[in-house]
Structure 1
Amino acid sequence: MSDLVRVAVYTHFARTGHAPAAAELSADTGLEPADVRLALAALHESRDLVVERDEIVMAHPFSSIPLGFSVMGAKTLWWGGCAWDSFAIPHLLDAEPDVLVATRCPACDTPHAWVVGRQAPPAGDQVAHFLTPAARVWDDVVHACANQRLFCSNRCVDTWLDGRQPGYVMDLATLWRLARGWYAGRMEPGYVRREPATAAAYFHEVGLRGPFWGSR
């Protein structure tokens, strides 16, 4: 039941750019509204969705709330949940060979936009800064995602941090490699989230190593 609802959530997000309401999920799946609510609660508990008061906040890489990124496809506009998720959307959706990802530098408000596709990372000297270590993301996942942002440069990262403890900085090519395969299979029935060990191995494979990523 939960997997049926999960796939329906992702299908709706991909098609419309918006989170489905419980009534829409009931119509799409044939389940009773009470069963849909139970499934959403289970999917939140398993970290497959972020649900608050029966409303879907995030179905990574999709978001129902603005967190600093817009992602425009050929016919659909999504909120990107973070830098990572915004770069992941064209890798997840076969019908979108590339998307336009737009944001502003959190430090100086300079606008930035990239065409992000599946073949190669976009050009640019900008950097991504992730504030929350991978092992702590689900302590407050919305806060963690809201603080995975793209900046003009390391100087802008330092300005924005204003003396706070830095997280992890990566270039656009590394961000693109991180996003490329992370959500593979998430639109399909039977998808299973990575365990910490397999997640750390994936991070290592794309060039992200050290305590921040749970690996050496």
Structure 2
Amino acid sequence: MRDDDGSWDEDVRLAVYHAFAHHGRAPSAPELADAAGGSLAVAKQALHRLAAAHHLVLDEREHVVLAHPFAAKSLGFSVMGTRTLWWGGCAWDSFAIPHLVEAEPEVLVATRCPGCGQPHALVVERAKPPEGAQVAHFLVPAARMWDDVLHTCANQRLFCCESCVDAWLAETGRARGSVLDLVTLWQLARGWYAGRLERGYRRREPDDAVAYFAEAGLTGPFWAPPAGA
């Protein structure tokens, strides 16, 4: 079904997200073409517009590499449901998947602490946050997250504790970002992508995003929108 402007963008967007949600992978070329009235060229044009609007991320070969909360390659997290195995885009995205995929209310999120290499496996469910001493460290402030979104996602990681965060920052020479406990990370993730698998989804405006962050307990300069937004 064409959009009001005559494009196939929404059908292509849904094809991307449904392929990830249901199969744990990006759509194939025939699937993309089917979503764009039978034309792969039209589908690729739609993909570029969707990437420009921050609905997804393409690599240099025009392949979808990120369609938050799903990734097409490992960025440090695997997310295992009863039916599907996904790559999570980051700690935030991995915790979001059971809230978005209706058929998977509980998943197993696996990763390693960047500070010491300790493996972690957490059961993340829709009903309540997981228990544990682990923390998430977000390196890139909210206003800059889309400057290099792959770098941003690769640096939203789970650590054993704040001591491991401090050790990793000292080793890498990076400045401290924002540290979230598991409850706050779960609260951030649970409603952020609501509606993304449905037709007509709209991304949050900056003010709406700030209000959402505040509801999760995340305030201050790190979580502020871009200047002038």
State which of 63, 75, 82 in structure 2 corresponds to 1:74.
Answer: 82
Partner residue of 2:223 out of 187, 210, 213: 213
Match of 2:133 among 106, 109, 125: 125
SS at match of 2:198: coil
Task: Specify the code of the residue in structure 1 equivalent to 2:45.
Answer: L
TM-score (norm 2): 0.91
| TM-superposition CA deviations, 1:125-180 (whole Å, max 9, x none) | 00000000001000000000000000001000011111421000010000000000
Instruction: For 1:45 and 1:150, locate their aligned partners in 2 and report how far apart those are by CA, in whole Å.
Output: 29
Instruction: Give the drift of 1:31.
Output: 3.3
Once residues 135 and 21 of structure 1 are traced to their aligned partners in structure 2, the CA distance between those partners, rounded to angstroms, is 33
The structural deviation recorded for 1:190 is 0.5
What is the correspondence of 1:38-53 to structure 2 with a 5 Å cutoff?
38-52=45-59, 53=61
Match of 2:167 in 1: 159
Indicate if the aligned counterparts of 1:73 and 1:99 stay in contact, CA closer than 8 A: yes
Q: In 2, are the aligned partners of 1:21 and 1:55 still within 8 Å (CA)?
A: no
Count residues in correspondence: 215
Instruction: Provide the secondary structure at the position in 1 that maps to 2:128.
Output: coil
Indicate the residue corresponding to 1:14 in structure 2. Answer: 21
Correspondence for 2:43:
36
Alpha-carbon distance between aligned partners in 2 of 1:173 and 1:182, rounded to the nearest angstrom: 15
Secondary structure of the residue aligned to 2:131 is coil
4+ residue runs of structure 1 moved beyond 3 angstroms?
A: 28-31
Equivalent residue of 2:107, what SS? strand
- Of 85, 104, 113, the residue aligned with 1:96 is 104
Q: Deviations over 1:19-77 (max 9, x none)?
A: 11333211355331111011000000000010123100100000001110000011111
| CA shift for structure 1 position 198 | 0.7
SS in 1 for 2:102: coil
1:187 pairs with 2:197:
yes
**1:16 to partner: Cα distance:** 1.1
> Structure 1, unaligned stretches of length 5 or more?
none
**Distance in 2, Cα, partners of 1:73 & 1:172:** 19
- Partner amino acid, structure 1, of 2:161: S
Cross-structure match for 2:179 = 169
Structure 2 residue ranges without an equivalent (≥5): 1-7
What is the percent sequence identity of the aligned residues? 63
The Cα RMSD (Å) is 1.1
TM-score of the superposed pair, with normalisation by structure 1: 0.97
Which residue of the other structure, out of 48, 56, 70, is the alignment partner of 1:62? 70
